[in-house]
Amino acid sequence: MRKVLQVSVLGAVRVVITHPPGIACLTSIVEKVRRIETATFAVFD
């Protein structure tokens, strides 16, 4: 799970570096990932 998140984050960072307008998109992606992470941890707790 962690590895997948790291890979997706790295990919998103690369997109932002090559496409500056992608910063807004990255922000929403990060928000979604955080929500998924907290939901996942809630399930495991």
Tell me which of 33 and 5 has the higher pLDDT. Answer: 33
Tens of pLDDT, residue by residue over 30-39, are 888 888 778 7
pLDDT of 14 reads 76
pLDDT tops 60 at residue 45: no
Alpha-carbon distances of 18 from 23, 26, 28, rounded to whole Å:
10, 12, 18
Encoded amino acid at 7, one letter: V
pLDDT of residue 11: 76
Q: Name the more confident of 1 and 11.
A: 11
Task: Tell me what pLDDT residue 3 has.
Answer: 75
